[in-house]
Amino acid sequence: MGITQILFWVLTVAALFSAIMVVSSKNPVHSVLWLVATFFAISGHYILLNAQFLAIVNIIVYAGAIMVLFLFVIMLMNLNKSTEPVKHKWLQIIGILSGGCLLLVIVAALRNTEVSQHMVEMSTGEAGLIKNLGRELFTTFVVPFEISSILFLSAMVGAVVIGKKD
């Protein structure tokens, strides 16, 4: 068993544990912090698959910007037990039953699928490197890239004009 497989299993256990803690945590701030840990474990998987760009974007965008936004929203809402609405037991039972039905549907859908016995080639090739992404982006897709940048610029100017006070 190589170091890559050991890292894969460690990251998998970390991602699964932190994802379970996201759902089962009572405190919303702790739930967000566990979600950040999940994103870091997933970024580790991206690095093992030689997709460094996806790993960095995942850390910057999701673990950085989105989670800071979630924390601000949670802190601004000032969630506590006194403002929490009363939940009935029958709602919890219905939630458990619907989750079980969803699990049965997923198992039934995946029951007849063929699992490939091929191993993924890790840390080989240049499939996930930023150099290849940049080459494709600025040669093959340069016109759609520039059109989208003009669209984003006009949306930003429009948002500033709409938000400007008279």
Both tokens of 136, joined, read: 């494709």
| Residue 166: predicted pLDDT | 64
What are the residue ranges spanned by the domains of the chain? Answer: 3-128, 129-166
Both tokens of 121, joined, read: 């080639």
3-state helix, strand, coil in the chain (%, to 5): 75, 0, 25
pTM: 0.61
User: What per-residue string of b and e applies to 127-153 under the rule 16 or more CB within 10 Å gives b?
Assistant: ebeeeeeeeeeeeeeeeeeeeeeeeee
Fold of 3-128: Four Helix Bundle (Hemerythrin (Met), subunit A) (1.20.120)
Model pLDDT for residues 83-99, shown as the tens digit of each residue: 666 778 888 889 889 98
Model pLDDT for residues 95-145, shown as the tens digit of each residue: 889 989 999 999 988 887 776 555 555 556 666 677 877 888 888 888 988
Distance CA 37, CA 126 (A): 27
